Amino acid sequence: MTFRARLLLSYLTLIALPLLVLSSLFYRSSLNVVTEQAQKNVYAVVKKNNDVIDTKLGIADQNSRSMFVDKDLFQIFNKLDPSKEEDLVAADRQISAILSKYFSQNDEVYAAQLWTSYYSFGLSRSLPQGDPAQSRIYKEAVQAGGKMVWYPTYDFTAMFDQPWLQEGTIDFRYLFSATRLLNFSHLEDSTLVKLKPGVERPVLTISYKSTVLDELFEQDIPAGSSYMVLNPDGIVVASSDKSQITKRYEQPWIDRFRAQGSGTERLSLDGENRIVCFDRSELTGWLSIVVTPQSALVSSLVPVIRTSTIVSALALSVVALLFAYFILGRITGPIKKLMSAMRSVGEGDFQTRVEVARNDEFGLLSQRFNRMNDRIRMLVQENYEIKLKEKEAEIQALNMQMNPHFLYNTLNVMNWTAIENGQKELSKMLVSLSNMLHYTSRKDWGAVHLSEELEWMRNYFYIMAARFEGKFEVVYEIEPALYEEKLPRLLFQPFVENAILHGFGGLEAGGRIAIRGWTAGGSRYFEIRDNGRGISKEGIDAILYKESASIGIKNTISRIRMAYGETYGIRIHSARGEGTSILIELPHNTQ
C-alpha cells in the first residue's frame, strides 16, 4: 500500500469508529427516549380507560344507591302479593318504568333487573334466565347484605343453566354484572319507614356486555398490544384473547402488580421484551393490564430514527472524507514534490530545487532538501576537482620520476668525490641529504612509523647542525610504545625548522630542541619545545589564521584534521624570551 492509501485508510478508520459509536449511541438513546415516552402514553391510556370505566360504572352505583329511598319501589314491594299473577305483571310494568328512569340513559347497560325468588322484574325479560335466584350472582348479592357486588364476566348459558344456547350465537353470551340487595325505606312525616319484615328484599342486577370494555381498550391501545381486565380473584373480565374470558389467569407477576395497584414495568415474556402497564379500578377493584411489545411501541418511529441516523452518518462521512482528502492533499502533495526532486537528483540533476511555499514542517523539509542538494552539488564538484588534481599530481609525479634518479646519481658522484678528497664531513652530509630526498620523494605518502619519521629528523638535524656549527642540540623523550604506531609524514619538520631558523635567530650557542612523546587516555601527544626567543600572541594568530603566513604549519594542521577529524590538531604556547612549545594531539593507535 502507498503512503497515501495507508493515510487515507487511517483517516477512514478514525472517522468510521467514532461515527459508528456515535450513531449507535444516538440510535439507542433516541430509541430509549421514544420507548419511555410511548410507555408513558400507554400507561396514561390505561389510567384514562380505568377512569372512564369508573365513571360509567359509577353512574350505575350512584343510581343503585338512590333506589334505596325510592318511594314508588317501596310501596310496590311493600304491598305486593307474590301469590297473585296479575299483581306481579302489573308490578313488573311499574318497576320496568322506574328502572328505565334510572338506567335508560346509560347506553352501556344491557339489562337492569330486580330479582326475587318468585319473579324477575326489569327491562330485559327476554333473557332466558330460568330461575336467577339459584345463580351465584344472586347468592353473592344476598350475602353482601346491601353492598355493591361487581361480578366478573361469566358465560350466560352456564350461569343460568341454559345448555341449549351453547351452540348458538347470542350477543349476550358474555356479561358482567353489578348486584345489590335493596332494602327499601323512605321518610314519611320525618319518620323512616321500612319494608315489612315478611317482605322479600329484591336484588338489583345491572348487566353489561363484556364488549363494553373491549371497545374501550381496542380503540386506544397501540397496535400489536394485548389487554386484559382481572378481578381480585384473577378471573378474566375482558381480554383481547377471547378464549381467556371467564377463566382464571395465573402468572407470578400478577400478584406483584395487584399489590402495587398502578404502574408500569418492562418484562421479558415469551422471549420478547414487553412493556406492561397496569392500573386498578377504585370502584370495582379490577386490574386493567395492557401488554405491549417494545418493538410495537416504536415500530412507526424506528424507520424515522434509523433513516435520520443513516442520513446523518452519511452526511458526516462525506464531510469527513472531503476533509480527509483535503488533509491528504496537504500532506502528500509536498511529499510527491520531494519524491520527484529526489528522483531527479538520483539521476544526477543536482540543479533541481523544490519550491518552498509553506512555513510548516513540509516547508522546512523542502528548505533542508534544497540546502542538502546544494551541499551535495558542492561536494560533487569538490570531489571532481580533487580527482582532477590527483590525476595531475600523479602525472606530474610520473614525469618527475627521472628527477630523483638523476639527483641520486649526482649526489653519489659528489659523495665519492668528497671521499677521494678526504672530505668525510661533506660525504656524511651528502649521504644524509640523499636519505632525506629518498624519504620525501616516495610515491606512497601514507602514514609512516614514528621510527621512520625520527630517522628523517636525525638526517635533517645533522645537516642543520653542520650548517649552524653547534648552535643548538636536540634531545628525545619518547615512550617506547609509540615507535610502533604510525603518524603523518613530515609531521615535525615545519616546527623544528621554525625553531632553528626563527627561534634561534641571533643566538650564537646554547639552543635546545626537546621532542617528547607520550600517551594519555585515547590520544597521543607530541611536544616540540625550544628555548628560543619565542613568539608574540599576534605572531601565533598570524601563523594559525592568516593565509600568507607559515604555509608549512598550516599544511600540517590541515593534514591532521583531514586524517583524524576536527577534534585533533596543534596548540602553540609561547612568550617573548621564554621559548615556544608546540603540542600535537593525535588519536591513539590509529592508522
User: In this predicted model, what pLDDT tens digit does every residue of 105-138 receive, in sequence order?
Assistant: 777 888 888 999 888 888 654 677 778 888 899 9
Q: How confident is the model at residue 528 (pLDDT cuts 50, 70, 90)?
A: very high
Mean pLDDT of 377-383: 81
Q: Is the pLDDT of residue 242 over 70?
A: yes
Q: How far is CA 43 from CA 275, 290, 406, in A?
A: 10, 8, 127
Q: Domain 70-209 carries which CATH code? A: 3.30.450.20
Other residues' Cβ atoms within 10 Å of the Cβ of residue 542: 15
Of 368, 514, 216, 346, the C-alpha closest to 354 is 368
Q: Is the pLDDT of residue 219 over 90?
A: no
Q: What is the pLDDT of residue 339?
A: 79
Q: Is the pLDDT of residue 26 over 70?
A: yes
Mean pLDDT of 5-9: 71
Of 121, 143, 122, 118, the C-alpha closest to 133 is 118
Q: Is the pLDDT of residue 398 over 80?
A: no
Per CATH, 70-209 and 444-587 having the same topology is answered no
- The answer to whether 563 and 544 are in contact (CB under 8 A) is no
**pLDDT tens-digit readout, 546-582:** 765 567 788 888 888 888 888 888 999 988 888 899 9
**pLDDT tens-digit readout, 39-69:** 888 888 888 888 888 888 888 888 888 888 8
Instruction: Give the span between the Cα atoms of 585 and 288, in whole angstroms.
Output: 107
Q: Is the pLDDT of residue 402 over 50?
A: no
Q: What is the pLDDT of residue 588?
A: 79
Between residues 589 and 37, the one the model is more confident about: 37
> In this structure, which CATH number among 3.40.630.10, 3.40.50.300, 3.10.105.10, 3.30.565.10 belongs to the domain 444-587?
3.30.565.10
Q: What is the pLDDT of residue 517?
A: 92
CA 189 to chain centre: 91
- The answer to whether 137 and 177 are in contact (CB under 8 A) is yes
Q: How confident is the model at residue 526 (pLDDT cuts 50, 70, 90)?
A: very high
Q: Which three cell numbers stand for residue 239?
A: 381480554
Other residues' Cβ atoms within 10 Å of the Cβ of residue 366: 20
Amino acid at 115: W
Q: What is the pLDDT of residue 518?
A: 93
Between residues 323 and 581, the one the model is more confident about: 581
Which of 203-207, 217-221, 391-395, 452-456 has the lowest average pLDDT?
A: 391-395
Which residues lie below 8 Å from residue 34, measured CB to CB, with a gap of 6+?
Answer: 297, 298, 301, 305
**pLDDT tens-digit readout, 134-192:** 889 999 999 998 899 999 988 888 888 877 777 777 777 888 899 999 988 877 777 78
Which residues lie below 8 Å from residue 270, measured CB to CB, with a gap of 6+?
Answer: none
Q: How far is CA 148 from CA 74, 180, 285, 507, in A?
A: 19, 5, 12, 151
- The answer to whether 174 and 154 are in contact (CB under 8 A) is yes
Q: How confident is the model at residue 202 (pLDDT cuts 50, 70, 90)?
A: very high
Between residues 94 and 577, the one the model is more confident about: 94
Mean pLDDT of 531-550: 78
Q: Mean pLDDT score of the chain, rounded to an integer?
A: 81
Mean pLDDT of 279-307: 79
Q: Quick one: 199 exposed, middle or buried, by C-beta within 10 A (0-12, 13-18, 19+)? A: middle
Query: Cell 606512497 sits at which residue?
Result: 444
Bridge pairing between strands 203-209 and 109-115? antiparallel
Q: What is the pLDDT of residue 419?
A: 79
- The answer to whether 330 and 11 are in contact (CB under 8 A) is no
Q: What is the pLDDT of residue 581?
A: 92
pTM: predicted TM-score of the whole model, two decimal places: 0.51
- Looking at domain 30-57+212-297, what is its CATH homologous superfamily? PAS domain (3.30.450.20)
- The answer to whether 152 and 176 are in contact (CB under 8 A) is yes
The set of long-range contacts for 407-415, using a CB threshold of 8 Å and a minimum separation of 24, is: 407/437, 408/434, 408/437, 408/438, 411/437
Q: How far is CA 494 from CA 528, 550, 554, in A?
A: 11, 8, 9
First to last CA, the chain: 48
Mean pLDDT of 482-494: 86
Instruction: Give the span between the Cα atoms of 65 and 78, in whole angstroms.
Output: 19
**Residue extents of the structural domains in the chain:** 30-57+212-297, 70-209, 305-397, 444-587
Q: What is the pLDDT of residue 547?
A: 65
Mean pLDDT of 268-293: 88
Q: Is the pLDDT of residue 591 over 80?
A: no
Q: Is the pLDDT of residue 8 over 80?
A: no
Which residues lie below 8 Å from residue 43, measured CB to CB, with a gap of 6+?
Answer: 263, 264, 277, 279
Considering the chain, what percentage of its residues have pLDDT values greater than 90? 10
Q: What is the pLDDT of residue 413?
A: 66
- DSSP states along 261-317: -EEEEEEEETTEEEEEEEEE-TTT-PEEEEEEEHHHHTTTTHHHHHHHHHHHHHHHH
Which residues lie below 8 Å from residue 264, measured CB to CB, with a gap of 6+?
Answer: 39, 40, 42, 43, 275, 276, 277, 278
Mean pLDDT of 476-497: 87
Instruction: Give the span between the Cα atoms of 130 and 160, in whole angstroms.
Output: 6
